[in-house]
Amino acid sequence: MTSPGFQRLALIASILALCVVVLGAYVRLSHAGLGCPDWPGCYGQISVPTETTAIASANVAYPDRPVEAPKAWKEMIHRYFAGTLGLLVLALAVWAWRRRKEPEQPVGLPVFLVGLIVLQALLGMWTVTLLLKPVVVMAHLLGGMATLALLVWLTLRVGSSQKMVTGAPPVLIPAASFALIVLVMQIALGGWTSANYAALVCYDLPTCQEAWWPPMDFAEGFKLWREIGIDYEGGILGNDARVAIHVAHRIGAIIAFLVIGWAASKSLARSGSETVRRTSMAVLGLLMLQIGLGIANVLMSLPLPVAAAHNGVAALLLISLVTLNYRLRQR
């Protein structure tokens, strides 16, 4: 049996990972991603400069990025939370390794998570040093979501001493797996939209710029690698490239709605497990909420609370689909 302490630590790490994902979205959406122009500190300090002399020195050292305390604090709070999460994941890995000879103790996943956290730290550093390069920002988002999903899977795995028999037919597993893949792809599209500042380029629904198929430049919009040294804050793409990204995200949202809704409805109708049915209902509820938030973002011109909630619900939808996939595999 896995230690109850390990179970609690895995749950705490999962909750903290969700907080880090939401905080990261809030930092990005409030244009505070370069609130601290260096890494891992802030203007060469472990905290935001507050004294007059420290602020003056920071402004001399970074003349292109003078101290803006509100933005800097948002960035540093996110870093503090992420650093704490890294320590918790390291503790999980050490704990798992020390108890590796116990039959119910998972070891590979906690150790893998340490490597993923290290990669996330590097991506966080490159996000700053490469001046919000879109491919790095998107990769950082996906890394955060992957960390969250794997921590949730670990928490589910060690959450009970006995395996639950769901009574769900095996045919449901491919549908749930496909839905999870589609969701990850849509999250990546959302991250690319945000990183390229394309969320507001289409101000109407269901059309975009009052056209069903406006001029779009997909080749330019989905060019992943661009020059190093360019400041990408605010975006550098033209209108047609941003429209291509936004429309692709809308099409992806329709596909995700249909696929995830189909998989959850199928699991709800055909599963003999009350746990699977409840999880399927949670997936459907979060899916409807997410679509509503996406529409509200367009109609309300991306208000920060709604935009941050859109990212947060995407993370909750990911958790619910990971849970559904896990439950369907218990037999």
Q: How far apart are CA 201 and CA 280, in angstroms?
A: 34
Q: Using CA of residue 78, residue 81, residue 87, residue 90, what is the dihedral sign?
A: negative
Rounded to whole angstroms, the Cα distance separating 283 from 318 reads 9
Q: Is 75 a catalytic residue?
A: yes
Distance separating alpha carbons of residues 242 and 208, to the nearest angstrom: 11
CA–CA dist 214, 311 (Å, integer): 27
What are the tokens at 181?
């893949």
> Which two structure tokens, joined as six digits, stand for 163?
């395996």
Rounded CA-CA distance 141/224 in Å is 15
User: What is d(CA 98, CA 93) in angstroms, rounded to the nearest whole number?
Assistant: 9
HSE value, Cβ hemisphere, 13 Å, CA-based, for 323: 20
Region of 105 (left: φ > 0; alpha: ψ -120 to 50; beta: rest) is beta
**Of these residues, 51, 68, 75, 274, which one is catalytic?**
75
Peptide bond into 37 cis (omega under 30): no
Write out 122-154 in H/E/C secondary structure: HHHHHHHHCCCCHHHHHHHHHHHHHHHHHHHHH
Catalytic annotation, residues? 75
